[in-house]
A and B are shown apart, each in its own frame.
Chain A
Amino acid sequence: MWWAQLLNNIAALFSGGVAASTSSFESIATTTLSAGTGWVNFNSIPQTYSSLQVRILGRSQQTGSSAGAVSMLINSVQTNSYAFHQLNGDGSAASGTGTASTNRMDIGVVPTDGYASNIFGTLIVDIHNYTSTTNNKTVRCFGGFDGNGSGTVRLGSGFINATTAVTSLSFSNANNSFDWLTGSTFALYGIKGA
């Protein structure tokens, strides 16, 4: 029913995740790291969904206690085709920032290795209309981590100036400056349209 889909889409715009539908949300692939790894990739993504959602549980090998940036590449593109905006809360102030014409999409933050080993960051990434060959792609992100007295919560948007269908996604720490730590998990889901 077109009106139900419309309501679903509106609800999704005002929430951090796509509205739940028990029959349309499908698991595509999952990677759980058993050793430190740089890039984590999903390749040959099927073109049978309307949207993708990636759910990340992660820690960065970066030393110290800080917020490690999570970077994403679409279709392995590493040219200055990306832009992103961020709305951040660090526990004391809200702030916004943006970057244009850059070589990756920074989509969130995870704790670095100085935090207690049991603390992982989380991130939900929604990629809409990823099969389109006529539109550029817009991405929405929500995530962060809390260290009981430190941490960051972040909302983000991202863009790639490319009309190519999305067939692969790659995730790294600070544009592959650091490895993901053992136990980091990346789950890719597809959401079907009507």
Chain B
Amino acid sequence: MAAGATYEPIATTTLASAANAITFSSIPATYTDLVVVFNALCSTGGTTGQMLLNGATTGYSATFLRGTGAAAASNRFTSDSSLTVMYQALSSTIPSHARINIFNYAGSTYKTVLIEDAQDYNGSGQVMRSVGLYQSTSAITSIKLQASGGSNLSIGTSATLYGIKAA
């Protein structure tokens, strides 16, 4: 069996001032899967964390499994304008965390994404796992992470993009 080190960091961005998004562009097509680690802060109430692939604002859907601290639930979004990667409203002081796996991102099938979302606000919040679909056969060359409604992400928001290459 072949063996070789992988899971390589491609890029990291940490906001030194508020901005409406973190975008990774010109993503090389040399990996098998991508992983995005996203830590978000936002001072605008009621905003969630979202992801756009290749800048597209159509073609997304997702199935969610959530634990709110009181109950477990499942729901879905269909024909959506983005992928929701942080389901609960973002906090201005407590980072929300998401780890996003994008499989076969350079391939010619639709893109399936696995999302892990952790948001705990000491008495509120939720844990979420979801599977998302982006109905495009194009290779993913850019990833945009944003808050809903065009709100700014706050200082300290960060994201790192990793590439995983199979043998």
Interface residues of A (CB under 8 A from B): 14-17, 20-30, 42, 44-46, 55, 57, 87-94, 116-122, 124, 142-149, 151-155, 183, 185, 187-190
**A152-B13 Cα distance, complex, nearest whole Å:** 32
**A138-B79 Cα distance, complex, nearest whole Å:** 37
At the interface, is chain A mostly helix, strand, loop or mixed? Answer: strand
In the complex, identify which listed stretch (B44-52, B104-112, B141-149) lies at the interface while the others stay far away. Answer: B104-112
Q: How many residues of B contact A (CB 8 A)?
A: 49
State whether B63 touches A29 (Cβ < 8 A).
Answer: no
**Cβ distance B128 to chain A, nearest Cβ, rounded Å:** 9
A–B complex contacts, Cβ < 8 Å, 7 sampled = A15-B116, A17-B35, A26-B3, A55-B101, A89-B63, A145-B112, A189-B166
**Cβ distance A14 to chain B, nearest Cβ, rounded Å:** 7
Determine the chain B residues whose CB is within 8 A of the CB of A118 once the complex forms.
Answer: 109-110, 135, 137
Number of A-B contacts (CB under 8 A): 179
State whether B103 touches A55 (Cβ < 8 A).
Answer: yes
State whether A92 touches B75 (Cβ < 8 A).
Answer: yes
Determine the chain B residues whose CB is within 8 A of the CB of A187 once the complex forms.
Answer: 32-33, 166-167
State whether A55 touches B74 (Cβ < 8 A).
Answer: no
State whether B1 touches A29 (Cβ < 8 A).
Answer: yes
Cβ of B121 under 8 Å from chain A: no
State whether B167 touches A28 (Cβ < 8 A).
Answer: yes
State whether A57 touches B112 (Cβ < 8 A).
Answer: yes
Q: Which among A143, A149, A188, A189 is the interface contact of B114 at CB below 8 angstroms?
A: A143
